[in-house]
């Protein structure tokens, strides 16, 4: 790493002790930014990096609620409003027991660059709670969401901060959150949240957008090697919203997705995952992959273990951060891996990313490859602002254009900085330059 940036990095790490995931995200970005600072020393003068690493505002709050037995439960809520140089803070809410400030900050930090890459007018933010929705009734989830919004409402708004979903937050949770916001404020402010239901201000394609977009980005990477998804053997990790829609789109483009996973194990389905059945099990019944395997028949379900044991030519990690380590990456490479498109945020460890890059595997980092979700959220905001709703075809076309645009911007930035095919460099510099320009123009903010 550039020595000038090392000193800034050390200060950032020391100021934010115990936030391992945030440190990881910051270090990865800093490693790409030396060449930009050579060309633009004014960025150091203006302390752009120091400012970028310090959120504009961080909110941590108590979320009290009662469970179905009438017992009082207490969770912790977060919203980190990281950077508003390009637009209102924008990013999802994650409800998962692992959530703490370091996770929210890594996600919020990545979101700044991701959102800049989409070309849409959105800043970066993220939030969530250590609440675990798994095994909770609809009533419990509703009471939790209502309590969460009873604090959050005062910090958000169409022009201020626009949350959406992430792990553990889907259409059901956004519905409860929106209902409570409307009730407290007495405003039908559609643009305050995205990922809404289609009859009350949501956008077509938003549910599919992250997984679809990851496949579109990966297809563009494959094209640079004269190939495509057609005939590829694909492994997807996860079986939530992002994974299911990545599987659907990869198969629509002619690939066979032979495996996917959940936190208990993975399924190997050599004929290709049955997406309709997977949707039914996961989205309607809120069941587990084991149930998919039992109902599908003739497939193997592996309890525990890693889905990355399964050979693939294309890997789409769509589960969670640091789910794919150096050992798994090396094994995938030995077995003929061509490309990795990250549907999740930071799913590859730093070792894994290094293995892929050294082996010449096409590697699309999450902040570029999974930007389709937030990009379509920005399209939802656009529809809300104009009180309009677009057709599926029109919205999907916009998503495709945005993803191809992100790919091309990453590729051309990597070329410009002398490292063709390095999508990590391209995404970090491409996103950074846009935010840095806006920050410089707006004075000392």
Q: Does 422 bind ligand GLU (CB under 6 A)?
A: no
| Minimum distance from residue 276 beta carbon to ligand GLU (Å) | 25
For ligand GLU, the closer CB: 191 or 426: 191
Binding mask 194-233 for ligand GLU (x = CB under 6 A): x---------------------------------------
For ligand GLU, the closer CB: 118 or 313: 118
Q: Which residues pair with 341 in a beta bridge?
A: 364
Q: What share of the chain is helix, strand, coil (3-state, %, to 5)?
A: 50, 15, 30
C-alpha to C-alpha distance for 173 and 196, rounded to whole angstroms: 9
For ligand GLU, the closer CB: 166 or 396: 166
| Minimum distance from residue 90 beta carbon to ligand GLU (Å) | 5
For ligand GLU, the closer CB: 55 or 373: 373
Say if residues 246 and 211 touch (Cβ distance below 8 Å).
Answer: yes
The piece of 28-36, 183-191, 373-381, 382-390 that touches ligand GLU (CB under 6 A) is 373-381
Buried b (16+ CB within 10 A) or exposed e, 97-112: eebbbbbbbbbbbbbb
Q: Does 245 bind ligand GLU (CB under 6 A)?
A: no
The CA-based angle 219-225-230, given to 5 degrees, is 45
For ligand GLU, the closer CB: 121 or 336: 121
Residue showing the smallest CB distance to ligand GLU in the complex: 92
| Minimum distance from residue 306 beta carbon to ligand GLU (Å) | 23
Q: Is 437 exposed, middle or buried (0-12, 13-18, 19+ CB in 10 A)?
A: middle
C-alpha to C-alpha distance for 94 and 127, rounded to whole angstroms: 6
Strands 256-262 vs 265-268: parallel, antiparallel or unpaired:
antiparallel
Residues 155 to 194 in contact with ligand GLU, rule: CB under 6 A:
164, 166, 194
SS3 16: coil
Q: Does 377 bind ligand GLU (CB under 6 A)?
A: yes
Q: Does 373 bind ligand GLU (CB under 6 A)?
A: yes
154 contact partners, CB below 8 Å, separation of at least 6 = none
C-alpha to C-alpha distance for 187 and 83, rounded to whole angstroms: 26
Binding mask 332-371 for ligand GLU (x = CB under 6 A): -------------x--------------------------
The piece of 46-54, 56-64, 131-139, 372-380 that touches ligand GLU (CB under 6 A) is 372-380
The closest alpha carbon to 180, from 170, 167, 193, 169, belongs to 193
Active-site residue, selected from the candidate residues 90, 105, 114, 126 = 126
C-alpha to C-alpha distance for 71 and 354, rounded to whole angstroms: 48
Q: Does 238 bind ligand GLU (CB under 6 A)?
A: no
Number of residues that bind ligand GLU (CB under 6 A): 10
Q: Does 374 bind ligand GLU (CB under 6 A)?
A: yes
- List the one residue from 77, 87, 91, 213 that touches ligand GLU (CB under 6 A): 91
For ligand GLU, the closer CB: 110 or 262: 110
| Minimum distance from residue 348 beta carbon to ligand GLU (Å) | 15
For ligand GLU, the closer CB: 158 or 419: 158
Binding mask 34-73 for ligand GLU (x = CB under 6 A): ----------------------------------------
Q: How many helices (H) and strands (E) does the chain have?
A: 18, 12
Q: Is 126 a catalytic residue?
A: yes
For ligand GLU, the closer CB: 164 or 329: 164
Say if residues 288 and 264 touch (Cβ distance below 8 Å).
Answer: yes
Q: Helix 326-334 and helix 350-358: axis angle, to 10°?
A: 20
Q: Does 396 bind ligand GLU (CB under 6 A)?
A: no
| Minimum distance from residue 426 beta carbon to ligand GLU (Å) | 18
Q: Please, which contacts does 193-196 make with residues 24 or more away whose CB atoms are closer than 8 Å?
A: 193/156, 193/162, 193/163, 193/164, 194/162, 194/163, 194/164, 194/377, 194/380, 194/381, 195/92, 195/164, 195/165, 195/169, 195/170, 195/171, 195/377, 195/380, 196/171, 196/380
Max Cα distance, the chain (Å): 63
Cα 431 versus chain centre, distance: 15
Q: Does 116 bind ligand GLU (CB under 6 A)?
A: no
- List the one residue from 77, 92, 128, 430 that touches ligand GLU (CB under 6 A): 92
SS3 198: helix
**Contacts to ligand GLU by CB under 6 A:** 90-92, 164, 166, 194, 345, 373-374, 377
Active-site residue list: 126
């Amino acid at each position: 790493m550039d020595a000038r940036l090392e000193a800034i990095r050390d200060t950032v790490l020391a100021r934010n002790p115990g936030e391992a995931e945030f440190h990881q995200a910051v270090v990865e970005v800093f490693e790409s930014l030396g060449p930009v600072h050579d060309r633009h020393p004014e960025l150091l003068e203006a302390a752009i990096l120091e400012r970028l690493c310090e959120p504009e505002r961080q909110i941590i709050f108590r979320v009290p609620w009662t469970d179905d037995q009438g017992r009082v439960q207490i969770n912790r809520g977060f919203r980190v409003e990281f950077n508003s140089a390009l637009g209102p803070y924008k990013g999802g809410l994650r409800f998962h027991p692992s959530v703490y400030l370091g996770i929210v900050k890594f996600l919020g930090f990545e979101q700044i660059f991701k959102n800049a890459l989409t070309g849409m007018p959105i800043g970066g933010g993220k939030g969530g709670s250590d609440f675990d929705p798994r095994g909770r009734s609809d009533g419990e989830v509703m009471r939790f969401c209502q309590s969460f919004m009873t604090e959050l409402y005062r910090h958000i708004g169409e022009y201020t901060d626009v949350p959406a979903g992430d792990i553990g937050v889907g259409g059901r949770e956004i519905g409860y959150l929106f209902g409570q916001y409307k009730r407290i404020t007495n405003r039908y402010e559609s643009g305050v949240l995205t990922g809404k239901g289609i009859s009350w201000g949501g956008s077509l394609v938003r549910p599919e957008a992250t997984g679809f977009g990851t496949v579109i980005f990966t297809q563009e990477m494959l094209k640079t090697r004269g190939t495509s998804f057609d005939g590829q053997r694909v492994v997807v990790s996860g079986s939530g919203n992002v994974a299911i829609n990545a599987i659907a789109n990869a198969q629509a483009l002619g690939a066979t997705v032979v495996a996917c996973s959940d936190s208990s194990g993975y399924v190997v389905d050599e004929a290709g995952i049955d997406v309709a059945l997977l949707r039914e099990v996961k989205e309607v019944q809120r069941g587990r992959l084991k149930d998919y395997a039992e109902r599908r028949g003739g497939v193997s379900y592996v309890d525990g273990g890693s889905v990355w044991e399964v050979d693939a030519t294309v890997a789409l990690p769509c589960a969670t951060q640091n789910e794919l380590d150096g050992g798994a990456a090396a094994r995938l490479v030995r077995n003929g891996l061509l490309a990795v498109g990250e549907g999740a945020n930071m799913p590859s460890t730093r070792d894994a990313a290094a293995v892929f890059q050294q082996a010449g595997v096409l590697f699309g980092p999450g902040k570029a490859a999974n930007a389709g979700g937030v990009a379509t959220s920005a399209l939802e905001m656009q529809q809300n602002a104009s009180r309009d709703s677009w057709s599926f075809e029109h919205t999907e076309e916009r998503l495709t254009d945005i993803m191809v645009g992100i790919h091309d911007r990453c590729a051309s930035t990597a070329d410009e900085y002398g490292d063709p095919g390095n999508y990590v460099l391209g995404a970090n510099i491409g996103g950074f330059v846009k935010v840095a320009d806006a920050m410089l123009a707006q004075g000392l903010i």
